[in-house]
Amino acid sequence: MSFRRQFSIGNKLIGYDAPVYVIAEAGVAHFGDPGKALALVDLAAEGGADAFKTQAFTTNSLISARLPEWRDRLRPKEVGFDFIAGMKQRCDQRGITFLCTAHDPSVLPWLDKLEVPAYKIGSGERGNTPFLQELARRGKPMILSTGMYEERHLAEALDAIAGEGLEELALLHCVTSYPTPLEQVNLRAMDRLRELFAGPVGYSDHTQGHQVVLAAVARGASIVEKHITLDFNVPNAQDWKVSCGPDDFAAFVREIREVEAALGRPVKEVQPCEQAALDWALKSLVAARDLPAGTLLEPEHLLSKRPGDGLPPSRQAEFLGKRLARTITKDAALHLEDMEP
């Protein structure tokens, strides 16, 4: 089965020839505080993101008892359905799409009840084909992050999803490290994903700053995902290290739109803003000095000078060896009708 090059999430097109879809990933940056959760939605909406995303899980369903320290670390960030529903309601009020990554099957009924328009799957589901199949059977678009993936893992995931008849899938190149060293971001992996997969390809970022996401946009990312937070320097947390905050998220989205606008289309042509330059920047063939009628034109009689309101220097050969029919003053542009027949 082939995956679609373009599909919709809510009222936004994703993929080929569509604007970059910007996801503000709040994750668990609310730290269990409902006030912060709503403020994060506001940050995403006011910053111009297309979608706000959070995460839901039941700690004991997500992490085995063999990792008690991880259970202790995540449990304070575990929230209930009403908490998640509050963020969804705020998204609806602010006119921004609500997305939520379910990290374990126990919270999938929440997403069903909230009628999320798409499923965002984290990189940690590599090899979890039963979970991917369960989501695919729901028939909604899926966005799959591919951190820690190799091509064999990708093939396994694509087969599992396609086997359930789902055609609306996007892949995000991702590196699961907080922060990701720049020399290991490997944005060219996006090119390989496009060779292996017909659907939209994007980038989920775990770097500091804006520049890598902007480079991904320049390389044709259809979707970009960036963490947002209200708090920095938080102990026992890592997302803040790679997040935008109230001081720079709006600028980040604006920069994406600026890069996107600069991409244009794959045609080499004169742009409207260049029209005036056609005269002042280009050069014309002109007389090197006053040339009387009857002069047999040789190379030393001709120069190339601005403006470009005459014939271009590339046509010099059409004048050489011909005689002038009239006198041409220094720096005057030459025209074929100035030559004797």
Tens-digit pLDDT profile for residues 63-121: 999 999 999 999 999 999 999 999 999 999 999 999 999 999 999 999 999 999 999 99
Q: What pLDDT does residue 237 have?
A: 83
Cα 191 from chain centre: 13
Q: What pLDDT does residue 140 have?
A: 98
CATH superfamily of domain region 6-263: Aldolase class I (3.20.20.70)
Question: Does residue 1 surpass a pLDDT of 80?
Answer: no
Q: What pLDDT does residue 315 have?
A: 97
Question: Does residue 248 surpass a pLDDT of 90?
Answer: yes
Best CATH choice for the domain 272-338 from the list 3.20.20.70, 3.10.20.30, 3.90.1210.10, 3.40.50.970: 3.90.1210.10
Question: Does residue 271 surpass a pLDDT of 70?
Answer: yes
Are residues 96 and 45 in contact, defined by beta-carbon separation less than 8 angstroms? yes
Mean pLDDT of 306-331: 96
Q: What pLDDT does residue 2 have?
A: 86
pLDDT band at residue 60, thresholds of 50, 70 and 90? very high
DSSP 291: B
Mean pLDDT of 253-275: 96
Q: Give Dmax (Cα) for the chain.
A: 101
Give pLDDT tens digits for 295-305: 999 999 999 99
**The tokens of 184 are what?**
């290991």
Q: What pLDDT does residue 89 have?
A: 98
pLDDT band at residue 236, thresholds of 50, 70 and 90? confident
Mean pLDDT of 209-223: 98
Mean pLDDT of 136-141: 98
Cα 28 from chain centre: 23
- In this chain, the answer to whether the domains covering 6-263 and 272-338 adopt an identical fold is no
Torsion angle of C-alpha atoms 245, 247, 249, 254, degrees rounded to 10: -170
Helix ranges restricted to H, the chain: 34-47, 59-62, 68-74, 81-94, 108-114, 129-136, 151-162, 189-196, 211-218, 249-263, 277-280
What percentage of the chain has pLDDT greater than the value 70?
100
Q: How many CB atoms lie within 10 A of CB 42?
A: 15
Q: Distance (Å, rounded) from C-alpha 38 to C-alpha 199? A: 33
* Domain limits, the chain: 6-263, 272-338
SS3 49: coil
pTM of this prediction?
A: 0.92
DSSP 199: S
**The tokens of 79 are what?**
């929230």
Average of per-residue pLDDT values in the chain: 97
